[in-house]
Amino acid sequence: MKPTMKPTTKPNNPNFSSGPCAKRPGWSLDQLNGAVLGRSHRGKAGKAKLAEVINLSKTILAIPDDYHVGIVPASDTGAVEMALWSLLGPKTVDIYAWEAFSKTWLGDIVNQLKLTNNQYTAPYGELPDLANYHSDNDSVFVFNGTTSGVRLPHLDWIADNRTGLTICDATSAVFSQTLDFNKLDVVTWSWQKVLGGEAAHGMIALSPRAVERLETYTPPWPLPKIFTLSKSGKLIADIFEGATINTPSMLCVEDAIDSMQWVNTIGGQSACQAISDKNLAIIKAWVARTDWVDFLAKAPDTYSNTSICLVITDTQFNAMEEGEQRNKIKSLCALLESENAAYDINAYKSAPPGLRIWGGATVANDDISALLPWIEWAYHTVMTAD
């Protein structure tokens, strides 16, 4: 294998983790001096901060006025679980699964809730056949496969006159990908992805149709308090005005506000998407001229611009057993980390051996460009080591 010279220019920010993700450019703890600390989150000042997060989210993401948006416990996972356990049951559920988290939601629906379902699955790198969609059934899916780098190219397959609910885990999509909320009845995300926020807090958006389900359907199983969105046949409206179910970190709340204010200063959601699209374009150009790497996603229109997943294609690497492949990738990542050139770019544990580079809006285009020669150097170094 031809040796590669060690690069001399490093990324200014070597944080390429897919969650928690890089902080916004220029971020510092000093930006959070306005946090309401040491006071009740249910007081006037605390509730105003929580309401600001909700209002900023609705405005930046262009969420319809008649949708309810709230802050919920346990990050995106908590938001998805809340939706599944609170809303599903009266209809057959169509489940679309093609990577780790969508397979987790499939497991919950099949093994825990034990609901009548149709399962539409695909291996890593591919999408299920969306033509199987039934507008009279409820459906559950991710928008962007964080662990596979495969995203939905559009939502045209969802009927506008559907009677079933569409429940979408959009955590690594919002702010860097365009979502038509009118096609989605429940949308969940967290602050730790494109916003570069801190973990443990989730967001949920509910359409009027989802609210109607909450107010007319009572699940046959008991619901824990942190999953409860309605009471006595009425939506708990306070949740969507800043009265959270449990105690949030007001420092994390301030950080989310800071992140979204930054989004506004650079031009809003479209500007975030442009940064991520450019990051993907830089990596696409590199892949096109590099003979040992390719995208895990098979179809170009499904390439994620946030969780960008790559696989190794050269003969020497693919002649190895999977365990040896994973060790090589682990060594590559350790070498990059020792050089402070890149942190946390190993593929997700259940994905095929490879790399996962976060390209969300807080990752500068120049840092992606600087990263790629380091990956080439590290790969050749690892593959030629005794």
In the chain, pLDDT over 70 holds for what percent of residues?
99
Tell me, yes or no, whether 301 lies in a domain: yes
Residues 237 and 276 grouped into a single domain: no
Which tens digit of pLDDT belongs to each residue from 29-65?
A: 999 999 999 999 999 999 999 999 999 999 999 999 9
Which tens digit of pLDDT belongs to each residue from 296-352?
A: 999 999 999 999 999 999 999 999 999 999 999 999 999 999 999 999 999 999 999
- Give the 3-state secondary structure percentages of the chain, helix then strand then coil, rounded to 5: 40, 15, 45
Which tens digit of pLDDT belongs to each residue from 274-298?
A: 999 999 999 999 999 999 999 999 9
Tell me, yes or no, whether 249 lies in a domain: yes
Region 206-228: mean pLDDT is 96
Tell me, yes or no, whether 159 lies in a domain: yes
Alpha-carbon span 380 to 228, nearest angstrom: 53
CATH of residue 38's domain is 3.40.640.10
Q: Which of 265, 282, 300 is the last residue of a domain?
A: 265
Q: Which of 265, 293, 322 is the last residue of a domain?
A: 265
Residues 261 and 274 grouped into a single domain: no
**Residue 104 token pair:** 């987790």
Tell me, yes or no, whether 345 lies in a domain: yes
Per-residue pLDDT, 199: 84
Per-residue pLDDT, 3: 62
What is the residue range of 227's domain? 34-265
Residues 67 and 214 grouped into a single domain: yes
- With 80 as the cut, is the pLDDT of residue 2 above it? no
Please state, rounded to an integer, the average pLDDT across all residues of the chain: 97
Per-residue pLDDT, 11: 98
Tell me, yes or no, whether 4 lies in a domain: no
Region 61-78: mean pLDDT is 97
Residues 283 and 243 grouped into a single domain: no
Q: Which of 231, 265, 299 is the last residue of a domain?
A: 265
Which tens digit of pLDDT belongs to each residue from 126-171?
A: 999 999 999 999 999 999 999 999 999 999 999 999 999 999 999 9
Tell me, yes or no, whether 8 lies in a domain: no
Tell me, yes or no, whether 27 lies in a domain: no
Per-residue pLDDT, 1: 57
Residues 67 and 205 grouped into a single domain: yes
Q: Which residues pair with 293 in a beta bridge?
A: 312
Residues 172 and 97 grouped into a single domain: yes
Tell me, yes or no, whether 177 lies in a domain: yes
- With 90 as the cut, is the pLDDT of residue 4 above it? no
Q: Number of helices and strands (H, E) in the chain?
A: 9, 14
Region 243-252: mean pLDDT is 95
pLDDT-derived band at 68 (thresholds 50, 70, 90) equals: very high
Which tens digit of pLDDT belongs to each residue from 254-267?
A: 999 999 999 999 99
Residues 297 and 199 grouped into a single domain: no
Residues 282 and 342 grouped into a single domain: yes
In the chain, pLDDT over 90 holds for what percent of residues?
98
Amino acid at 233: G
